[in-house]
Amino acid sequence: RPWSQMVGVLRCSSSSLPHTQARQEFTTILQLWSVGVMGGGSKITEPSTRHAPSLSSPLLLLLVLLAGGVSSLNHDYCVVGAGPAGLQMGYFLHKAGRDYIILERANHSGSFFSKYPRHRRLISINKRYTGHINQEFNLRHDWNSLLSDDESLLFKHFSSDFFPENDSMVRYLNEFVVRQGLRVRYNTAVRDIRRVPSTVQQPSGYFTIRDQHNRHYTCRYMIVATGMGIPNTPTFPGSDLVHGYEDLQIDPSYYEGKSVLILGRGNAAFETADAIYGVTNVVHMMARTRARLSWNTHYVGDLRAVNNALLDTYQLKSLDGLLEAAVEDMRLERRDGRIFVQFAKTFKQINESKESGEHLMSENDFDNFSLREGYDVVIRCLGFKFDFSIFHNSTMPRRSMKKSKYPGIKHTYEAQNVPGLYFAGTVTHSLDYRKSAGGFIHGFRYTVRALHRLLEWRHEGQRWPVTSYATRDLLNVLVRRMNEASAPYQMSAYLADIVVFRDDGETFELLQEFPVRLLARLEEMTGREAEEVIVHLMDYGPDFSGPDKDTFREDRAVGDPMEAHRSNFLHPIFYYYKKLPIETEMLMNWGKMPLPRPTRVHHVLEDFLTDWTAQQSHILPLRRFLEFVTRRDLRHHHAHSCLTYALTNGHPPPLCSLGSSHNVWSIHTLASPQTQTSGETEYVSPTINLTSSAVPSSLRPSAATLASATS
């Protein structure tokens, strides 16, 4: 028979194999054969090591026959969605050697970007030049790249545009899959996700999935990374007259000489207005809320300058304009070839007033009603929401109490009401909505990494990776992190570096990029004991962000280190806790700060260049703060300053000692991680301790000895 018919017959057969792994391998061979021979079907990309071996035709046919009856695939981790978040999670699972599969309904990765934005231009910054060669620093200004060990997989190698086209993103994501060898099963529409209660074999329960071909998958843990792909389509009288953003005509000539009303006030609405306002009679925009400009709110999801041309033509009275009204309360009516607007609430009140004999005026009764002339086209650009339809009713996650378009999740990224169901990417943005960048690639690439680290400890027994240092290096380590680290910079006030003191304060461990809302559960979430800690995060001033804030006022910034706590722009903040806060304390607000009241707090003065290395303004105040909370002198002395100190005080400073060769140890360079241990991504502190307690007073060199050694 033709192969297309034969494989169809094989897939429908009811034979089964006794061994789960064998069934998986035979299914892989079937899929690879169907792709290679037929050039179609449900395609799966695998690492080259998993490709089917060269087999004789009879044996291959036998394997295909056996695989035809396989209707169930078993994995530890099932990732739903091969967009940026799904691929980022796949990368970390693949690197850790976990058993996973990524399921994607389209025939390629990043299918959302194949269609959106509708006018083909992304608003995520592709800043290829920063004047720095440090890759970690450069990620602070790279809003498109996924995290990986391959420098050639940075997005800047795929587009030279500052605001790239969406086709470049699609090409980048699919190249990422191929180059990293991620296991993605395409043409697989996930539906009917169910959680099965605990069994003897699976005491923690497991999940089952069914696809459009009635194939069944079982997974220990489910990670949903589908994004927000369902257009928000409120219904109201006349809503059938509206063109949706998802299928609107993008050819500007269609709108020539027409009057257009756009419903919505986000970037999609302004993107649409920007594309057509040059050929229309008028473009009016209506939404419930006022326009929120990203340079006022410091939230990248608000209106970006690249799309705000309509504000120009509105404020300069060139016919276009913005109005505030609830879309749900409107009604549209076509008369004489035009679409007229009325508000249903008022319409209902008018009818009720007629019955009572009262007279109530509607908007149309006013001869200056703003929308009185009607429109040729009405376009809906009201954003997107999460698709809950992929879940069975028994496994339906709750909706977020803060924003119902998102699923309700904990700060562990787990569903509030479904154990073992996790979310990654844009769908987790309810946790930092309008506060940080968790809804966008340059933010959720880090929250996905945080989720993976949480999963590694909870399900695989791998503790959160740390780096250990001697406390004498604390200042250097923190200065380096606040000037280079990209995760606290992009996920401000949400992801933080945690310094955990060990050995009575002689050493410390650095946990990077930890979700600060889980601080009270640090040991439970990471496997690391902690009591005395310093939390380093970055944040804006508490009263500097908002749609009504003047962020260009003359006194918008401070330059005096004594006023660092009044800094407005993004700047490092250090919280010192003598004892780790408990859960109830985490629920208490300390003004507008993201953490409960600490034992001590230190703000590093904001800097125009975001370069916090000025000795007097940045380093000295931070050092004195750290010396106060650690009760140690953290100065690193060179030979000359050691001599000066010794001659002045009669003994050398704490961090200046002599080795057997009578050389002053050079410890002024930045600290670096020590040897890596096997089994876990951990580091050990240096064996040499240069603190004062390591050298008894009687053994310290005299001033004369020091002078001789340094002369």
Please write the tens of the pLDDT for every residue from 267-307: 999 999 999 999 999 999 999 999 999 999 999 999 999 99
102 forms beta bridges with 79, 184
SS3 675: coil
CATH of the domain at 286: 3.50.50.60
Other C-beta atoms closer than 10 Å to the C-beta of 666 total: 9
User: Cα 67 from chain centroid?
Assistant: 39
- Is the pLDDT confidence value at 37 over 50? no
Q: What angle do CA 203, 461, 94 make, to 5 degrees?
A: 95
Do 438 and 470 fall into the same domain? no
Q: What is the predicted pLDDT for the residue at 201?
A: 77
Question: Residue written as tokens 């200046």?
Answer: 656
Do 177 and 156 fall into the same domain? yes
Looking at 57-66, 311-320, 427-436, which range is the least confident one? 57-66
Please write the tens of the pLDDT for every residue from 228-253: 999 999 999 999 999 999 999 999 99
- Is the pLDDT confidence value at 688 over 60? no
Do 223 and 243 fall into the same domain? no
- Is the pLDDT confidence value at 407 over 50? yes
Do 319 and 220 fall into the same domain? no
Give residue 94's pLDDT band: very low, low, confident or very high (50, 70, 90): very high
User: Element (H or E) spanning 584, and its range?
Assistant: helix 583-586
pTM: 0.82
Q: What is the predicted pLDDT for the residue at 71?
A: 41
Do 259 and 369 fall into the same domain? yes
- Is the pLDDT confidence value at 440 over 60? yes
- Is the pLDDT confidence value at 615 over 60? yes
Q: What is the predicted pLDDT for the residue at 199?
A: 79
Dihedral in degrees, nearest 10, Cα atoms 512, 515, 517, 519: -30
Task: Tell which residue, 219, 211, 275, 212, has the closest CA to residue 249.
Answer: 275
Query: Up-side HSE of residue 316: CA atoms within 13 Å toward CB?
Result: 6
User: What percent of the chain clears pLDDT 70, i.e. is strictly above it?
Assistant: 79
Q: What is the CA radius of gyration of the chain?
A: 30
Write down which residue in 568, 602, 630 finishes a domain.
630
The CA distance from 268 to 249, in Å, is 14
Measured CA distances, 500 to 412, 469, 503 (Å): 21, 11, 10
The CA distance from 32 to 40, in Å, is 10
Please write the tens of the pLDDT for every residue from 358-372: 655 555 567 788 899
Q: Mean pLDDT throughout 192-215? A: 90
Amino acid at residue number 655:
L
Residue 338 in tokens: 């035009």
Q: What is the predicted pLDDT for the residue at 44?
A: 57
Split into its structural domains, the chain has a count of 5
Q: What angle do CA 627, 633, 636 make, to 5 degrees?
A: 115
Q: What is the predicted pLDDT for the residue at 691?
A: 36
Higher pLDDT, 30 or 469: 469
Please write the tens of the pLDDT for every residue from 525-567: 999 999 999 999 999 999 899 998 999 999 999 999 999 999 9
Write down which residue in 447, 462, 477 finishes a domain.
462
Q: What is the predicted pLDDT for the residue at 347?
A: 55
Average pLDDT, the chain: 85
Do 611 and 640 fall into the same domain? no
- Is the pLDDT confidence value at 38 over 50? no
Q: Mean pLDDT throughout 164-183? A: 98
Residues 6+ apart with CB under 8 A from 18: none
Do 409 and 537 fall into the same domain? no
User: What percent of the chain clears pLDDT 90, i.e. is strictly above it?
Assistant: 71
Give residue 348's pLDDT band: very low, low, confident or very high (50, 70, 90): low
The CA distance from 463 to 524, in Å, is 10
Task: Tell which residue, 372, 373, 400, 374, has the closest CA to residue 386.
Answer: 400
Task: Tell which residue, 492, 524, 469, 472, has the closest CA to residue 634.
Answer: 472
User: Element (H or E) spanning 508, and its range?
Assistant: strand 507-515
Higher pLDDT, 450 or 203: 450
Give residue 650's pLDDT band: very low, low, confident or very high (50, 70, 90): confident
Write down which residue in 462, 495, 521 finishes a domain.
462
Question: Residue written as tokens 């580091």?
Answer: 683
Range of the domain at 480: 463-630
Do 254 and 402 fall into the same domain? no
Do 223 and 144 fall into the same domain? yes
Q: Mean pLDDT throughout 215-233? A: 96
Do 353 and 204 fall into the same domain? no
405 with 382: CB under 8 angstroms? no
Q: What angle do CA 373, 377, 383 make, to 5 degrees?
A: 120
Do 92 and 223 fall into the same domain? yes
Do 495 and 620 fall into the same domain? yes
